[in-house]
Amino acid sequence: MDEALLAQLTSSQRKAVSHRDGPLLVLAGPGSGKTRVITCRIAALVDSGVRPYNICAITFTNKAAEEMRQRAAALGPSGGAHISTFHSLCVRILRRYAEAAGIHSNFSIYDSADQSKCVKQAVKDCGLDGTNFPPARMLDAISTLKNKLIDAEAFQERAEDFFSRTLSQVYTRYQQILAERNGLDFDDLLMKVAFLLETDSAVCGELSNRFKFLLIDEYQDTNHAQYRLAKALALPHGNICATGDPDQSIYRWRGADIRNILAFEKDWPEAVVVKLEENFRSTAAILRAADSLIARNTNRKQKALVAVRTDEGKVCVEGHEDEAAEADAVARQVDALLSQKVPAGQIAVFYRVNAMSRALEEAFVRRRVPYQVVRGVEFYNRKEIRDLLAYLKVLANPADEVALLRIINTPTRGIGKVTVDRVKAFAVSHGLTLSQALARADQVPEVSGAARTKLMAFSCLLDKLRRDIVGPVAPLAERVFRESGLEQSFKGTGQDGQDALENISELINAAAAYDQQTTEPSLLDYLQQIALFSDTDAYEATSERAALMTLHAAKGLEFDHVFIIGLEDGLLPHERGNGDGDELEEERRLFFVGVTRARINLYLSYARYRTVRGQFLRTVASPFLFELGLDSITQKDEEPEDDEDAFGGYGRRPRLASRPVPAKQAEPEFAPGQLVRHKTFGLGRVRKYADMGANSVVTIQFNTGQTKSLLLQYAHLTRV
C-alpha cells in the first residue's frame, strides 16, 4: 500500500489497516475516519496478496456502500472487492443458490405495504377478527421472531398460551401466502441465508472460500440473524473485521442487538482490539458535551472522544414557550446563518418523531427558508410510482399476486372485483397462480364473455411486455408506462395528472441512471435496489436546502450546524423508553448520535408547552440536557414578530425575556424507595434521585407501570 497514504493515518488507524489475518474489532467513535480505515484496509489486504474477489465488506445503507465502493476504487485494484449492504448480499446469495434455499430465483422483495396486505389476508384466512388481532401487531411479532431466527414451524412447537398459538397460525399462513406469490419480505432475506449457511455445508464452504476476508461496518446494529450469518461465513477462516461503536447502537426497536459487539471478544478470543478515538469532525465543545452525556450509559466499551480540530464551536440550549415559538426560532436562526453565507446544505434540524416536522415546515415556509424533508421512501409510496413498479414486478415475477391485483384494473379497463374474485377462486381450485388463471380466463365458466375478452387482453399485454425484460430497465419502464395505458390516463386530468407525469418521468430518469451505472442492468436487480431503498439514501448532500429529518435518519451524516428540537421528557427520551433499563440507554445513544453529527455548532431546544394529541400540555425539559455538563440553559419567552399575521392572526408575540436557569439552590431530597404522588401520574416509588440543585431530576416508577424522569422544580411531588 502507498506509504504516503499510510503516513496520513493516525497510529491507531494504521494498526487497524495493517492487521491481516485473524479477527479484528475496531471500536470507532463518531468522526474517527471509520470509512477511510475500512477502505484502506481493503487496499492493504490487496497489497498483501489477497485477491479483491476474496474480500467482502458489508455496511447498512446503500449510500454508505456506494461511498465505500467509490473510495475503494480510488485506491486502485481494491475496487474489485464485493461491497454491499447485508440485504443486498443476501439477495445475491439467494438468487445464486435459490434451489438450495427452496425458493425460485425470480422472487419479489415485499416492502412494508406488500407485507401489510399479505398479513391482513393471513389474519382473514385464519378466521380472526382484525380488531382483536391487529395485522400490524401480528406483523411486528412475526418480524421479531424472524430476526431471532425462529421460523413458523419452530414457533408452532413452542407456542403455549392463547396469543402465541393464534400468532403461530397467522405466521404459518403468512409464510404460505408469501410462498404462493414467490415473495420474500426483508426479514426472510436474512433468515433464509442464515439457515442456508448453517444447514448446507457445501454452500457455506463455497461462500466462505469466496469471501476469505469479511469486513462488517456498523457491527453494533446487527441483529441476531445478521450475527449468525456473519459468524457462519467467517468461522472456517476466522478473518472477520467488525467495525462499530456500542455508543451508536440505535436500532434495538428493529432487532439490533448491542450484545453482538460487546461480546465480540468472547466469540473471537484471539481478536485484536483497536480503538479509534481521534475525532476529525466536531469541535471540542461538542465532544465534551457528547462525552459527558454518553458516560451515563453502562452498556458500552470505554473510550474517549479526542478533538483534532482546534477551532472552538458552541453548544447552545434554549427553552421556548411552545412548539410554534421553537420552530420559528429555529427558522430565524437558520435564516441568519444563510445571510452569513453558510451553505444551506450544511444545516440540519433533527427531531425524535416525524410528526414534529409540521411546525418546522410551516415556520420555514413563512420565512422563505429553503429546506428538504429527508423522508425518501415517500417518493416510492406515491400511487403512480407504485402502479408502474407493480407492472414491472409482475413482469419479473408473474406469481406476485399483490402487484398483479394492483394493476389488473389500473388504469380502468372494465375488470371489476366480482370478476377478479371468480378468477381467484378458479386459480385456487385448479392449483394455479392468479397469473396462470388469467391466461386461461376463457375456461372460467362464471366469467361473462365480455369480461373474458378483457382478461385475456390484459394477460396478452403482460406476455408481450415480458419479452423485453432482459437488458436496460429505462426503455422497458417507458414502454410499460405507454402501452399499459397509464400515460394516457394522466393526460387531461389537471394539475394532479401533470404532477403524476412528472413523478413518472423522474422514476424513468432514475432507471436510466441505473442503466448507465451498471455493467449488466437487469429488472430484478433494479427492483431489488428500490425495495432496499431507505430514508438516508434519499438525502441530497449537494442540495442547497436545509435538511429536516429524524434522529434515526441522521445516522451516518454530518453538518456544520445542527439543531435538535423537542428536548423534553416523553419525546427525548421517548415515553416508550423512559425508564432505567436498556431502552433509556438507547434513547441516550440516539441523542448522542444526533449531537455528534455537528461539526461546528450545536443548537438544542425544548418547548415548555406542546400540543400532544390535540391537548396543549405542560412539558418537562429532558433529563439528557442536564447530562451534557453545560453551565447553564437559556430559556426564551415568545419571540417578537414584525408581521402581525405571522402567527395565524393571533397577534404579535411578547418581547424576549431571556434569563439563565437559576444557580443551584437547596431542594428536598427524595431517596430511592420513597413513595410519592404526582397530580397527573398518581402514586409511584422513587427509583433514582440526581441532585443538581434547581435542575435536580427524580426518576419514579408509577403504579400505572410507567417510569418517568421528572425535573424536580416542576414535578410538584407530594410525599406519601
Rounded (10°) CA dihedral 26, 32, 38, 41: -80
By DSSP bridging, strand 707-711 and strand 697-702 are antiparallel
- Distance between CA atoms of 547 and 344, rounded to whole angstroms? 8
- Distance between CA atoms of 678 and 706, rounded to whole angstroms? 12
**Cα 111 from chain centre:** 13
Catalytic residue among 111, 185, 187, 218: 218
C-alpha cell at 229: 450469518
For residue 67, indicate whether it is catalytic: no
For residue 248, indicate whether it is catalytic: yes
For residue 35, indicate whether it is catalytic: yes
| Residues in Cβ contact with 643 at an 8 Å cutoff, skipping those fewer than 6 apart | none
Q: Is 29 annotated as a binding residue?
A: yes
By DSSP bridging, strand 615-618 and strand 609-612 are antiparallel
**Phi, psi at residue 687, to the nearest 5°?**
-100, -35
**Amino acid identity, residue 342?**
V
**Angstrom distances, CA of residue 638 to CA of 43, 313, 471:** 56, 26, 60
| Residues in Cβ contact with 338 at an 8 Å cutoff, skipping those fewer than 6 apart | 344, 347, 369
Residue with cell 486502485: 76
Q: Is 579 annotated as a binding residue?
A: no
Q: Is 555 annotated as a binding residue?
A: no
For residues 387 and 486, is the Cβ–Cβ distance under 8 A?
Answer: yes
Q: Is 34 annotated as a binding residue?
A: yes
For residues 210 and 112, is the Cβ–Cβ distance under 8 A?
Answer: no
Catalytic residue among 95, 300, 303, 597: 597
For residue 34, indicate whether it is catalytic: yes
Q: Which of 337, 373, 377 is nearest to 358 (CA)?
A: 373
Q: Which of 382, 358, 377 is nearest to 548 (CA)?
A: 358
User: Could you tell me the sign of the dihedral formed by the alpha carbons of 214, 219, 223, 227, in that order?
Assistant: positive
- Distance between CA atoms of 564 and 587, rounded to whole angstroms? 14
- Distance between CA atoms of 529 and 598, rounded to whole angstroms? 30
Crossing angle for the helix pair 582-595 and 284-294, to the nearest 10 degrees: 180
C-alpha cell at 252: 434495538
Q: What is the DSSP letter of 218?
A: S
**Amino acid identity, residue 420?**
V
Q: Is 35 annotated as a binding residue?
A: yes
Q: Is 31 annotated as a binding residue?
A: yes
Q: Is 298 annotated as a binding residue?
A: no
Question: Is residue 121 packed enough to be buried (19+ CB in 10 Å), middle (13-18) or exposed (0-12)?
Answer: middle
Locate all alpha helices (DSSP H) within 347-382, ordered by sequence. Answer: 357-366, 377-380
Catalytic residue among 13, 175, 226, 248: 248
Question: Is residue 379 packed enough to be buried (19+ CB in 10 Å), middle (13-18) or exposed (0-12)?
Answer: middle
User: Residues forming the annotated binding site?
Assistant: 28-35
User: Residues forming the annotated binding site for ATP?
Assistant: 28-35
- Residues annotated as catalytic are 34-35, 217-218, 248, 597
